[in-house]
Amino acid sequence: MNRMYFRKNYNEIVNSILEHMIKGVTKEKHTFRRSRLMYEFECRPEYRPVKEVTLVEGFLKANRHIFKEDQDYVVKDNAIEWISDSSEIPDDKSLFEVTYSFENNSRLSDISKSRN
C-alpha cells in the first residue's frame, strides 16, 4: 500500500498524542483518488474496532468541507468508503482527514487513586 506522510507542527503532534492517550481519539489524513473509494483506518489491531467516526473534513471544489456520514461516506470493516454516486466526495488528489475514536484506550488521566 502506498502511504504518504505529511509534516505536522509541534502543537499538532502534542495535541494528537494527548487525545490519543487520554480520550482514545485519533486523526489521520489520506489523499483521495477518484479510482479508489475505500480507505482503511491505520489504527493498530488492538484499537479495533473503530468506535465512532466523529468528523471527516477535506476539500470540495477547492474549499474546506465537512462530509456527512451515510450521505457522502459509510463506515464499514474499519474503513471509510465513499458513496460513489454522491456528488460530495473530496477533490481528486486532495487531502481529507478522518477523526475517530476507538474502544481500547489507555484511559490515562491526571487523577490517581489514593492508596489507603
Q: Which of 49, 63, 47, 48 has the alpha carbon at shortest distance from 96?
A: 63
What is the SS3 assignment for 30? Answer: strand
Closest among 9, 20, 8, 29 to 95, alpha carbons compared: 29
pLDDT tens sequence across 30-88: 999 999 999 998 876 666 677 888 899 999 999 999 999 999 999 988 899 999 876 79
pTM, two decimals, is: 0.68
For the chain, the structural domain boundaries read: 29-102
* Helix ranges, 1-116 (H): 10-18
Question: Which stretches of 1-74 are DSSP H helices?
Answer: 10-18
